[in-house]
Amino acid sequence: MARLSTENKKSNRLPSKVKLDDKGIDLGSILCSACQDAPESAAHLFFECDFVKKLWTDIFSWCCISPREIHNPLDLTLALDVGPRNISFKMCIDAVFCTTCWWLWRARNMINFSHSRWPSNLLHMVKVWSFH
C-alpha cells in the first residue's frame, strides 16, 4: 500500500536515539525507553521491542491476520498480501498499521518527554484512532 511504503521511507529518518547519537548528540543513554534492553533504533522502536511485539500480535489478532514476525515496514506490506483480501480490507489494515506506528511513536515520546510509563491501553487507542 502506498502509505506503508511512505512510512518505510520516513522510518529511516526518524530521530531515534541511535540516529541522534550517530549525529553526535549526547543523550546520556541510547537504550529503548520502554524496555531498557536494547539501543533505540527505528527497527527496535517499531518492531523488535518486546512491548511492541505484544502490540503487533494483538493488532494482527484483531485484524484476523495470521501472527507473524515483523522486522520492518516491508513485512507489514507482505502481511497484506496473504490470502484473498479485497482492496477495502487492505486499505483498512493499512490505516490500522499506520495508526499503530503513530501510537508507538507517541508512546515513545510520552516516556521520553513526559516521563510516563508504557501505555497499557495502546491496542484500544489504535482501535479508536484507526477509523477516527
Footprint on this chain of Zn ion (rule: CB under 5 A): 32, 34-35, 49
* Coil, strand or helix at 39: strand
The whole-angstrom distance between residue 103's C-alpha and the CA centroid of its chain comes to 7
* Least distance from Zn ion to the Cβ atom of residue 29, Å: 12
Task: Dig out the grid coordinates for 98 from the structure.
Answer: 499506520
Q: How far is the CB of 44 from Zn ion (least distance, A)?
A: 6
**Please, which residue, 49 or 101, has the CB nearer to Zn ion?**
49
Identity of the residue, 45 or 80, whose beta carbon is nearer to Zn ion in the bound complex = 45
SS3 31: strand
With respect to Zn ion, which residue has the nearer C-beta, 75 or 95? Answer: 75
How far is the C-alpha of 104 from the C-alpha of 121, rounded, in Å? 11
Q: How far is CA 54 from CA 13, 28, 61, 122, in A?
A: 25, 28, 11, 10
Q: How far apart are CA 35 and CA 78, in angstroms?
A: 27
> Smallest distance from the beta carbon of 53 to Zn ion, in angstroms?
9
* Complex with Zn ion: residue 35 or 92, whichever CB lies closer: 35
Give min distance, CB of 32 to Zn ion, in A.
Answer: 3
Cα–Cα distance measured from residue 11 to residue 41, given in angstroms and rounded to the nearest whole number: 10
